[in-house]
Amino acid sequence: MAGDSSIEWTEKVWNIVKGCTKVSAGCKHCYAEKMHARLNAMNETTGNNGYDKPFSVVVERTDAKGMMTPTTWRAPRRIFVNSMADLLHREVSTAFIMRAFEVMVEHAPQHQYQILTKRAPRWAEISGEVMARWGRWPVNVLPGVSIESTRHLDRLEALASVGDERTVRMVSAEPLLESLAPDGVQALAQRLKAARTGWLIGGGESGADARPCDAAWLAELRDACELAGVLFFLKQLGGKGSTEALKRGGEYAVLDGQRYTAMPPMHRVEVGLFSGLPPAAPKAQG
Ligand code: SF4
């Protein structure tokens, strides 16, 4: 499953891992798990590289065509790497993650890649591998963490260690299950700043069993972002059932009469610098 995305803060999804296991309360109504079951049911007679296994089995993509999908999108796009799994799951090998980075850095550097994880501590290992390989963090890859409650604010600390001074780090506070600012908006702004956060997406949960999200919690995120100089994207207010959720997402995701849809600019990596190879010698004339 790769292609156009209906997620407002991205344009394409590139699914190279299938399957995951739950780590925290934000996983309770996992979208990937529900989609996985649907895709499995749709393909049960034909089989389909990973969806035919239980969701709890983590499968790395093995087909070269799927791995190279971003090279088939010529125009620069914002690409969410894995909407159906967590790329930094412990069962995804470091070698496989580095193959994905090779595609992002060397084969399709025109895109912006967004990677979210709830396994934040693994960012330190991946950052080390990327730095060892290319000497700096690629500006077109946005490392990120998902944080749904104060219990997981420590994922911010892991994020701080990824990349370098040009890295845009992203935070997804969705589904937001409680205020992330129990010590006030100033304190949250300080934490975002300390993590060198560049972009934050906030949103309540939606769907039949959505847990409530107070608009005041989202307003705190917006205010903390403003104080910390972080771009803020309000995805949805959240709501139970499809009708109510629809009324609180997209153009209806409004706080104090305003929409918030900031996104970081796109940067293409300088391939020559990252490949570690000298520029090709000019061909001899005649
Ligand atoms: S980490 Fe993401 S993909 Fe994995 S179970 Fe949780 S919500 Fe689902």
Instruction: Enter the pTM of the model.
Output: 0.91
Task: Decide if 51 is inside a domain.
Answer: yes
When pLDDT is averaged across residues 32-42 and rounded to a whole number, the result is: 87
Q: What values do phi and psi take at 82, rounded to 5?
A: 80, 95
Ligand 1 centroid–CA 21 distance in Å is 6
Asked if residue 265 is part of any domain, the answer here is no
Report which secondary-structure segment, H or E, holds 253: none
Q: Is residue 261 part of a domain?
A: no
In a domain, 257, yes or no: no
pLDDT at 211: 93
- Residues 154-189: pLDDT tens digits? 999 999 999 999 999 999 999 999 999 999 999 999
In terms of Cβ atoms closer than 10 Å to its own Cβ (0-12, 13-18, 19+), residue 5 is middle
Residue nearest to atom 3 of ligand 1 (CA): 85
**Does residue 210 lie in a domain region?**
yes
Question: What's the domain count of the chain?
Answer: 1
User: Which residue segment(s) compose the domain that 14 sits in?
Assistant: 2-252
Atom of ligand 1 nearest to the CA of 22: 5
Instruction: Give how far Cα 188 sits from Cα of 118, 148, 223, 245, Å.
Output: 19, 14, 9, 27
Weakest-pLDDT range from 86-100, 161-175, 247-261: 247-261
270, part of any domain = no
Are residues 57 and 19 in contact, defined by beta-carbon separation less than 8 angstroms?
yes
Asked if the structure places residue 280 within a domain, the reply is no
Helix, strand, or coil here: 143? Answer: strand
Ligand 1 is surrounded, with C-beta below 6 A, by 20, 22-23, 26-27, 30, 32-33, 85-86, 118
Residue 107 located in a structural domain: yes
